[in-house]
Structure formats: structure tokens, C-alpha cells
Amino acid sequence: MKPYVIGICGGSGSGKTTLLKKLKNTLGEQRVSVFTMDNYYLPKEFQQRDKNGEVNFDLPTALDENLLNADLETLISGKPIEVKEYFFNAPVNHTKKITIEPREILIVEGLFLFYFEAVKKALDYSIYINVDPKHQLSRRIMRDEQTRGYSKEAITYQWNEHVLPCFEKYILPYEGAADFVFNNDDRSREEFKKLRQVLEQNK
């Protein structure tokens, strides 16, 4: 039986992972599979560089779209897939392979959820996370300083030169295409209640 496919989209630091975890817990972990588009980043040597020679990971071309589409189609068809789990800056030979089993519900999350047409068409219900860009930047600074060893200067450069242009071109224009706009601010608790009710009705 085809799974019910839920998509989560939002800019960097918008809270996609947090919302995904809450949904998985609410819907029942045994019923849910998770498909993370980050697992399809191409190796660094295949990434585009900006005018200053810095690698830009915030472009659709940063991902292996063909493999991503093929794996998603396989999973939706009811077959398991094996993927290399993405860890930032991890050497290729240290990447761990994981198996994703098909289940009743499939949650797909990623920056280019709507931009990749095959992914967009596969969705039964879509969620766009809306958040103040100031909060996104502060979350990104905290994450990248603590887990990636980046300086605040480097993080701010990436934000201005890569992240924001990507968001404005490949993510924000699709806000109106989402079935549910989740306002991730002081309304988030009430927003989650609404979202949960809608999903329960649809399922």
C-alpha cells in the first residue's frame, strides 16, 4: 500500500528537524519513515563555488537529484532503500549507510521539497515553515559554531552570500504552494495543534 507522504520545507534554521521529530512522535514512530534530502549531497569536489571561490552548498545542484528521485520512488513503491547518512564534512569512507523501510506514513524533509518537481508531485500533504530570518541566523550561528567549528564571520558570509539568495530564489516562492504554513514563533504550540488535527482528519 502506498504510504501517506508528508513534506516539510523551510529555510536553513527554520526548525524542520524539530517539527519532523514532533510529528513522528505524534503520529507514532512505528508508523513513520523519514526521508531526508540532506542525505543526497554530492561530494565537495562536485559543488559549485561562488565568486570568491567558496563552496556553495545552498543550491539545488548541490544534491544528486536523480538518485534522490529514484530512491524516493522506490520507497513509495513499498521497497526499502539504503542511503549514505549525511554528516557535514564527513569523509566519504566514514559515511554510515542506513536502511529506510517503507511504512504507513512517509515524511520527506528538505530545502528543495517544492523545487524538485518529482518530489513535489509525490506529496499528499505539504508543510512550509515560516520563521523570522533573525531567528534563523541565530540558530545557524549557534549550530555551526558548536558542531562545525565555523567562525561567526564565516557563518555570516555564508548566510549573506549563499543562504539568503537560495532562500529567496528556491524556497520562499513556494510558500503559497504548501497545504499548511507553520508559523514557528510564539504561536508554534497552537500551530502544532492545528496541524495535528488536520493530519488526523486526512489520515
Q: Kindly list the averaged pLDDT for each block of 10 residues, start to end, along the chain of length 203.
A: 95 90 94 96 93 95 97 97 76 73 97 97 97 79 75 88 94 96 93 94 76
d(CA 25, CA 90): 29
Q: pLDDT at position 92, please?
A: 47
Domain spanning 4-202: CATH superfamily: P-loop containing nucleotide triphosphate hydrolases (3.40.50.300)
Q: pLDDT at position 36, please?
A: 96
d(CA 57, CA 158): 9
The residue ranges of every structural domain in the chain are 4-202
For the chain, first and last CA: distance in Å? 14
Q: pLDDT at position 203, please?
A: 66
CA torsion, ordered 197, 199, 201, 203, to nearest 10 deg: -150
Q: Please answer whether residues 130 and 27 qualify as being in contact, where contact means their C-beta atoms are separated by less than 8 angstroms.
A: no
HSE (side-chain half, CA atoms, 13 Å) at 171: 26
Angle at 66 between CA 85 and CA 136, to 5 degrees: 55
Q: pLDDT at position 143, please?
A: 78
Q: pLDDT at position 154, please?
A: 86
